Structure 1
């Protein structure tokens, strides 16, 4: 077979043109389809970008709390009466008879101090008193004799007056010696340490043989506390002072009895504000049945505050603090942001009480995003919910 028979005959010219035209049309169709797909994708991207540019926010409605809000403050419990007992005489502790936690009665013996120096001083004072008495008796006998001799003109009036004056002087020395003895006896009586009132011994800071120094500069020997009632001291913030007055009842809780509540009543207020803390001192009186509450302990004091008729409460997370002051971001009917300047009347931690600036019908944005400006459009992620009140 020859090579000419294997060669493909060329296409006719008209058919070749048709193939080229069809190829161009197919290529154009492919390009047009790609452009259309990209246009649709770009439109979708613009739509998604525009949607993402509108921030989504949670909206709440301010509430008027019909229940009285509660103000929780830390308090310090102290005994109704607390008496640290110091020694009035020097010496050594001879014995003690009551230990911590024991109930005591007024006048009950707590301890005895051994006072050898006072014992010796008392012996000397009594000897001085006996000497003064003897001298006074001799002076009295002498004065009586000279008075008798004056009637017979045996002695002069001057001499009688001298003997009488000597008697008066000796009597004065007797009184001074007796006073010294009484003083030492009274001082010796302080060697017996007794309870000043009914209560509980809450401290014993001495032991047998310890050196005792007299006076308030020495060491406390015992502490007696009256715990049938307790005083509770609370530092009340200045802006809450008008809501608390003498007679206000508060509830107390302590960590050791978390499920039990105790009732206390305000019995005194300092009527002055501490410039350093901005608080005023309040004193409450609490009954202590069973001695469950302990002096020196921490207590959580809960005051029920009066309801403010025009106040509204919102979460503290809704507040915005910037150059404009304290504001809330609200939504108008067109779902655009409007910042309103507000005043805070009371702060309850997770919620705040707004004194002025908003109304009950305002829709407030909770936790507004950073960069939100007045007039911005937003999308509501939730239905407008009422602000939860926590007190």
Structure 2
């Protein structure tokens, strides 16, 4: 074999190898491209499916439930003494002295102060003198009438004269009784110069001082002392008309006053006015609270908490389930096909974290808690996996 033939054979083999290699490389590249396209198509399909799934919102449901406790009605109230007696003067004069000051406990009949009444004293002296004169005249007229009555039996005097003497005696006796009544009246008036406590209690006001001019009570007179019985206190509360029927005598309430933060005082309803004030639309309720330790003060302000009975017809849902927009106050519910349906509701009472619905919901409704923004009626939703069945709303 010649050298030229030997050289030509390797060249042919090299070209064939190059062609085979190129073919293999081309096949590999085509496979890579096909695999890439298939992968991208699969990923796009998965992304589309995921996007579609994410477009359906997942919601948590709650079931409206009636509350086991009624709402607590918080209203302002005013404390008043069980009995309060302003002491006015019934005689004019000057205050001679006072025996008790504010905050002093007093017993019934105890002297609070005394009024100097020189004018009444002089009138009483004159009245007693008039009484003495009238009594002397009556005694003399009585003796004279008896003598003339005795002489009538001897026919020494006329019957007319005897009748005159007897009538004069009767007139003098009447004058004596009138003078006695005048003395009694002035003595009774003088007794009012002593200002006394009408019952056991505490002096809660003293609006006079020694030497002050005192006028009789009424238009011109002023309160000199105020005695209050504070072993119990009355609490007056204006209750809105809607809650009036729920608060009846015998109902319990809790008082909270600013001066004792964190402390509660228990009171009981004793009376209601059974009438609605046309101006305020409220009814007056009176409560009684024990104050044996004198911690509470008459005239002070208090918060009064009434625990109202639960309304079995009302349903409670979380406050986060409420939607307030152009459509009004609504809640979003889910029907049997997992589609959204809105229902208009009205709030009966707001508990903060939950609300009591007065109308618009039924016990079997499935309410969406914290509905997503932009949710519309008829939208498809998914139920949270931990909420396959609507969970009952926890009672407040």
Q: Do the structures match in fold with TM over 0.5?
A: yes
2:166 equivalent in structure 1: 164
Q: 1:249 aligns with which of 248, 252, 263?
A: 252
- Which digits, 9 at most, give the CA deviation of each residue in 1:237-287, with x for residues without a partner? 222222221111112121111222211111111111112222211111111
Residue 295 (structure 1) aligned with residue 298 (structure 2) = yes
Equivalents in 2 of 1:83, 1:379: separation in Å? 72
Q: 2:180 aligns with which of 174, 178, 181?
A: 178
Equivalents in 2 of 1:337, 1:192: separation in Å? 83
Structure with larger Rg: 2
1:311 Cα offset (Å): 1.8
Residue 353 (structure 1) aligned with residue 356 (structure 2) = yes
1:147 equivalent in structure 2: 149
Equivalents in 2 of 1:176, 1:354: separation in Å? 79
Deviates more, 1:72-81 or 1:186-195: 72-81
Cα separation, partners in 2 of 1:296 and 1:335, compared to 1, 3 Å:
farther
1:332 Cα offset (Å): 4.4
1:339 equivalent in structure 2: 342
1:323 Cα offset (Å): 8.8
**RMSD over aligned Cα atoms:** 3.2
Q: 1:363 aligns with which of 359, 363, 367?
A: 367
1:273 equivalent in structure 2: 276
Equivalents in 2 of 1:325, 1:162: separation in Å? 102
State the secondary structure of the residue aligned to 1:257.
Answer: coil
Contact 1:331 1:365 in 2 (8 A): no
State the secondary structure of the residue aligned to 2:278.
Answer: coil
Contact 1:318 1:368 in 2 (8 A): no
2:102 equivalent in structure 1: 100
State the secondary structure of the residue aligned to 1:289.
Answer: coil
Equivalents in 1 of 2:278, 2:338: separation in Å? 46
Equivalents in 2 of 1:271, 1:348: separation in Å? 28
Equivalents in 2 of 1:168, 1:199: separation in Å? 51
Equivalents in 1 of 2:89, 2:311: separation in Å? 56
Contact 1:202 1:224 in 2 (8 A): yes
- Which digits, 9 at most, give the CA deviation of each residue in 1:34-83, with x for residues without a partner? xxxxxxxxxx9xx99xx99x999997653432234322222111111011
State the secondary structure of the residue aligned to 1:259.
Answer: coil
Contact 1:143 1:163 in 2 (8 A): yes
1:229 Cα offset (Å): 0.7
Paired residues in the alignment total 341
1:330 Cα offset (Å): 3.7
Q: TM-score, normalised by structure 1?
A: 0.77
2:125 equivalent in structure 1: 123
State the secondary structure of the residue aligned to 1:267.
Answer: strand
State the secondary structure of the residue aligned to 2:299.
Answer: coil
Q: TM-score, normalised by structure 2?
A: 0.76
1:141 Cα offset (Å): 1.4
1:377 Cα offset (Å): 7.2
Q: 1:284 aligns with which of 283, 287, 297?
A: 287
Contact 2:321 2:367 in 1 (8 A): no
1:367 Cα offset (Å): 8.7
Residue 75 (structure 1) aligned with residue 77 (structure 2) = yes
Equivalents in 2 of 1:318, 1:58: separation in Å? 10
Cα separation, partners in 2 of 1:149 and 1:68, compared to 1, 3 Å:
same
Equivalents in 2 of 1:236, 1:191: separation in Å? 44
State the secondary structure of the residue aligned to 2:261.
Answer: strand
State the secondary structure of the residue aligned to 1:122.
Answer: helix
1:232 equivalent in structure 2: 235
Equivalents in 2 of 1:141, 1:323: separation in Å? 108
Equivalents in 2 of 1:349, 1:194: separation in Å? 54
Cα separation, partners in 2 of 1:184 and 1:380, compared to 1, 3 Å:
farther
Segments of structure 2 that go 5 or more residues without pairing to the other structure are 1-46
Residue 304 (structure 1) aligned with residue 285 (structure 2) = no
State the secondary structure of the residue aligned to 1:268.
Answer: strand
2:12 equivalent in structure 1: none
Cα separation, partners in 2 of 1:315 and 1:111, compared to 1, 3 Å:
farther
